Structure 1
């Protein structure tokens, strides 16, 4: 694999934002985190030790932030992985099958793959954010081949395709489109698009079924794109992450879901969202698990509620007088408080939980999206007994 990818003296702010919003994900096999999950969670197959995964993650971030070439990345990371015992081949038990397999852990070749995949993905996601911000002046993308000696035929067929920024084509055919792919896109003006022959007729995207042997899931992927690379790493990445995470939590046993939520609300990522540190970026942090009966009554297909950066900013703007650690009270209100639908607005999809915690009244308001597939925490504040009594008139009681 040619080591031809380089960052400049420092990556664009959009690339750093992508890194800041990307979490850690442990996996034994790359297929355990397939497709879109790769864009939203940093994962290295068989790096199941948190210390190993964190070490790789930190070095990848440093390489991108400082514009380090692969040799510098390898020289810094390899000794650390060897010290942790994550190097060479080793017999391991596959947690999914229970079988003993010989696993290739760290190696120079694996480090090159890790470096390439993560730098290219981060760059692509950051570039997509910039494309969205400037699409009024530069409304088109043109598909270009990279500097590889040979190109995949289906990639070569896409060269010089010109389509609007928001055309569905870019949902899957946005580089990189496979392991080692060095294709790229250039954003252009309408005048340049016309000078190059105008907008291309959208190509027919042939697909082929591919079965993930780890999960049993079968999905259609575009012919010419490697499995796992058929998603745009920057397109609505945080909303997609939220839906994927909600799906995983919804499917988990209740005690695991609750334990995971406690860890998530206490995480640095949640604190950064709640404190407004990621203002200007679209990030969704899991905040609580809604009782099943309440989710059903409100027409929601998920039980996981998220706090968005936009809603956190509104709460801060209204003078929120407490720190993010108080958001642990949100789950307590859902577990033991009084939950009511809020029918004060026509076609309202809001519901609220209220109660006494530590001698003080609290109230939290949630909103279910019209599609019913997302729940957002819209308001969280201290209240009073008189206010709670007034709120009781707004809708029927749902729980407790």
Structure 2
């Protein structure tokens, strides 16, 4: 990858880019695979750095590189002596606790290069995402832009010039960077610009799927990535996926709170406010797409159904189907989801779904929650009113995990 021209990349002191790095907490990981995707967007980590002071040294140097437009050589010249002094340099033997061990690489010029490139490119794209999202009323269409030269990956080349609405789920998985040393970016466009350039706005509806790809050849560990099926400028069909561990939007992950890290009651209050705000109203009116957090499970509920996450999301596709199937539900009913799930009086496991029942104001609400294949995600799959008779039928059909309905 050619030298990143930081000064030209940002043009001025990039407040949002520096803010992206500064808002991250710290976490420790032995392998880069231990902290992936959204977790990496919210926490600064370097594989095999197990001391906080060394992590701080590296991040401080990255902050200065961005603020002052430093080249990699300047970044390396400042940081390398500090890392050597503190013993985080070269190859070392690390014991495995069972009498054996392995030789591992700590700091090196090559590793510093990777740290510099990945963090600056990711921070830059996260800053661009925030600016573009804040300006979405004026420029609601985003175009994927790849640098077209001899090093461009064929699949990134195929996406070049593709235009989607800014709220299309495509950007949840394909907002750059989409792999190691990815140089792609996104250009925001107004409706007038789309028309004047003769561009076609596409939709990912029906063209997005997911697959598991190998993450670590040693352990056989796999990770889920998005798959997009499209056609190129010549009308030829193609299928594209980000590299393993890059199937996420670093900006969206970083700037939105991770409710799984919040105390349950704090998360409930956050959602109560969020579901009465303009973003949720636009989502409910189907003017925006994606996944919206609508509920959080308390520890007891999580333990009861074996969930690994507390946040429950509602997808735009499920909402659309539910609005057709159950038009009697108003936005006011959907805005009660945080309380309804938190106040679950009856939980029944029915196949792969956890069914929640709550009686409020002479109405019985029925919400169905399903975990993703990995168990790390939770989605609301159905929401409706129900009856005492239907509730009893469900109890007989499924496995009752909790029943406080009569108390």
TM-score (norm 2): 0.58
| More moved, 226-235 vs 2-11 | 2-11
Match of 1:210 among 168, 193, 213: 213
- 2:4 maps to 4
Superposed CA offset, 1:123-142 (max 9, x none): 11111111111111111111
Measure, in 2, the Cα distance between the counterparts of 1:99 and 1:169. Answer: 46
Partner of 1:153: 154
SS of the residue 1:86 aligns to: coil
1:132-171 equivalence runs, <5 A = 132-146=133-147, 149-171=150-172
Matched with 1:90 is 92
Q: Which residue is equivalent to 1:63? A: 65
Separation (CA, whole Å) in 1 of partners of 2:110 and 2:222 = 29
Q: CA deviation at 1:62?
A: 1.6
Partner residue in 1 for 2:252: 235
Q: CA deviation at 1:67?
A: 1.9
1:40 has 2:45 as partner: no
Structure 2 portions without partners, runs of 5+: 228-239, 265-296, 312-335, 344-366, 370-376, 379-407
Structure 1: distance between partners of 2:149 and 2:131: 25
Task: After TM superposition, give the deviation of residue 4 of structure 1 in Å.
Answer: 2.9
Offset at residue 219 of structure 1 (A): 2.0
Secondary structure of the 1:146 match is coil
SS in 2 for 1:187: strand
SS at structure 1 position matched to 2:202: coil
Q: Is the 8 A contact 1:26 1:47 kept in 2?
A: yes
CA distance in 2, matches of 1:105, 1:237: 27
**Aligned-residue offset at 1:84:** 0.9
What residue in structure 2 maps to residue 128 of structure 1? 129
Match of residue 116 from structure 1: 117
Deviation per residue, 1:58-80 (Å, 9 max, x gap): 11112112221111111100111
Q: 1:29 to 1:94 in 2, by over 3 A?
A: farther
Q: Which has the higher strand share?
A: 2
Q: Is the 8 A contact 2:125 2:251 kept in 1?
A: yes
How far apart, in 1, do the equivalents of 2:96 and 2:37 lie? Answer: 21
For the aligned residue pairs, the C-alpha RMSD in angstroms reads 3.7
Q: What SS class does the counterpart of residue 191 from structure 1 fall into?
A: helix
TM-score, reference length from structure 1: 0.59
Deviation string 1:142-198 (CA, Å, 9 cap, x unpaired) is 111126531111000001111111111111111111111111111111111112223
Partner of 1:54: 56
Matched with 1:395 is none
Give the Cα–Cα distance (whole angstroms) in 2 for the partners of residues 62 and 148 of structure 1.
Answer: 31
1:1-400 residue pairs with structure 2 within 5 A? 1-7=1-7, 8=10, 10-93=12-95, 100-146=101-147, 149-202=150-203, 204-205=207-208, 207-213=210-216, 216=221, 218-222=223-227, 223-239=240-256, 241-243=258-260, 245=261, 292=299, 348=339
How many angstroms apart in 2 are the aligned matches of 1:9 and 1:201?
A: 31
Q: Contact between 2:214 and 2:244, CA under 8 Å: does it hold in 1?
A: no
CA change 1:291–1:57 in 2 (3 A) is: same
C-alpha separation between the residues in 1 aligned to 2:309 and 2:258? 15
CA distance in 2, matches of 1:156, 1:111: 28
Q: How many residues align?
A: 274
Query: Does the Cα contact within 8 Å between 2:172 and 2:248 map onto a contact in 1?
Result: yes
Unaligned runs of 5+ in 1: 251-289, 306-345, 352-369, 375-400
